[in-house]
């Protein structure tokens, strides 16, 4: 009886202790890992996914599996103080398993660029680094506002290609779409009903984008696999007049580097306007 009482007491005592940053954090997504590093929590991370490759030192951390298939056993064996996961990529079932095992976890829900600053404030508060998070989020907000205020004079109709064959593009509700809008341009796939729709080639020809962006890691590889598609689109003004640009994957991760992605997009679209 006394032991039970003490255990219950311990539970209450441990709550205010969370005001200090947890010592053992497991991150279940690459953008989470990047956010944690940005909040100076890098040293406290004890486990990451196989996809967490930024910053470079994140690759040295113990791996707990992929994003869609993290290993519960690996996570548990790391004895984390908290697991940070996301609704965009981690299975819901995994959260349920963590709950039954009474492993403390935080779920990151932001999917849009506009939600990112507040989401960082929230995760910072939950991890006991509120001040650093507020500061970082404020900076991020100012940068984003800067992009918006620098609105372009000549809006372009843009298509952002995620993969050429089959043709998958960035549709509404994605960070890419947000970035295009933030920069004052128009995403021709904004009317699709999916985030990353398999898009009709016929529609691309009809809507005739002014600029085509092809995103993804490994630009050389993307160039190779895009040859066929660009040949099919050779009569669009974007291809004919050479407004096809290869970009990095900054906008595919809703983390601190989303700013770099927007920057990169702003640069190529500025060039396209000339």
Partner 1 sequence: MKTRVFILITAVAGIFGFALLAGPRPINPFAMSGLDREILLFVRLPRLVVAALMGGGLGASGAVLQGVLRNPLADPYILGLSSGAALGAAAGIVLGVSFFGALTVPLLAFAGAIGTGLLVGLMGWRRGGIWPERLLLAGIGVGFMLSAVLMLFLSVSSNEGLRRAILWIFGDLGMSDWKLIPYGALLIGLGLAIAQRRAKALNTLMLGDDLSHSLGFSPRKETALLFVSVGLMTAASVALGGMIGFIGLLMPHIMRFFVGTDNRILLPASALGGGALLVVADLIGRTVMSPTELPAGMVTALLGAPYFLYLLRRRDVIG
Binding site for partner 1 (CB under 8 A): 50-51, 163-167, 171, 189, 191-194, 197-203, 205-206, 216-218, 221, 224-225, 227-229, 231-232, 235
Q: Whole-number minimum distance, CB 94 to partner 1, in Å? A: 18
Taking the least distance from each CB to partner 1, the nearer of 141 and 195 is 195
Taking the least distance from each CB to partner 1, the nearer of 112 and 198 is 198
- What dihedral angle (degrees, nearest 10) is formed by the CA atoms of 215, 216, 217, 221? -80
Quick check: 254 and 175 in contact, CB under 8 A?
A: yes
Contacts of 259 (CB under 8 A, 6+ apart): 140, 143, 144
Nearest residue to 190 (alpha-carbon basis) of 173, 165, 167, 211: 173
Taking the least distance from each CB to partner 1, the nearer of 30 and 80 is 30
Ramachandran angles phi, psi of 215, nearest 5°:
-105, 160
Taking the least distance from each CB to partner 1, the nearer of 51 and 147 is 51
Q: Whole-number minimum distance, CB 17 to partner 1, in Å? A: 37
Quick check: 121 and 35 in contact, CB under 8 A?
A: no
Q: Whole-number minimum distance, CB 197 to partner 1, in Å? A: 4
Quick check: 31 and 15 in contact, CB under 8 A?
A: no
- What dihedral angle (degrees, nearest 10) is formed by the CA atoms of 147, 36, 85, 190? 10
Taking the least distance from each CB to partner 1, the nearer of 120 and 229 is 229
Q: Whole-number minimum distance, CB 257 to partner 1, in Å? A: 17
Q: Whole-number minimum distance, CB 214 to partner 1, in Å? A: 13
């Amino acid at each position: 009886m006394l032991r039970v009482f003490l255990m219950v007491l311990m539970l209450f005592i441990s709550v205010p202790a969370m005001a200090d940053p947890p010592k053992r954090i497991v991150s279940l997504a690459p953008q989470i890992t990047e956010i944690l590093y940005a909040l100076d929590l890098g040293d406290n991370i004890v486990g990451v996914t196989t996809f967490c490759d930024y910053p470079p030192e994140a690759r040295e951390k113990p791996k707990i599996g992929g994003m869609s298939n993290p290993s519960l056993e690996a996570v548990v064996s790391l004895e984390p103080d908290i697991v940070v996961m996301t609704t965009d990529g981690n299975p819901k079932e995994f959260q349920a398993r963590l709950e039954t095992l009474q492993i403390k976890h935080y779920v990151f829900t932001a999917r849009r660029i506009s939600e990112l600053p507040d989401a960082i404030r929230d995760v910072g508060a939950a991890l006991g680094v509120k001040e650093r998070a507020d500061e970082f989020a404020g900076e991020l907000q100012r940068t984003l506002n800067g992009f918006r205020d620098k609105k372009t004079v000549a809006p372009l109709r843009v298509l952002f290609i995620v993969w050429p064959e089959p043709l998958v593009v960035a549709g509404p509700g994605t960070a890419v779409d947000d970035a295009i809008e933030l920069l004052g341009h128009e995403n021709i796939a904004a009317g699709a009903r999916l985030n990353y729709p398999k898009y009709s080639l016929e529609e691309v020809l009809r809507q005739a984008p002014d600029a085509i962006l092809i995103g993804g890691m490994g630009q050389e590889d993307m160039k190779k696999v895009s040859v066929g598609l660009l040949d099919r689109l050779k009569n669009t003004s974007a291809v004919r007049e050479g407004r096809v640009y290869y970009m990095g994957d900054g906008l595919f991760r809703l983390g601190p580097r989303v700013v770099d992605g927007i920057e990169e997009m702003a640069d190529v679209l500025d060039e396209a306007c000339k």
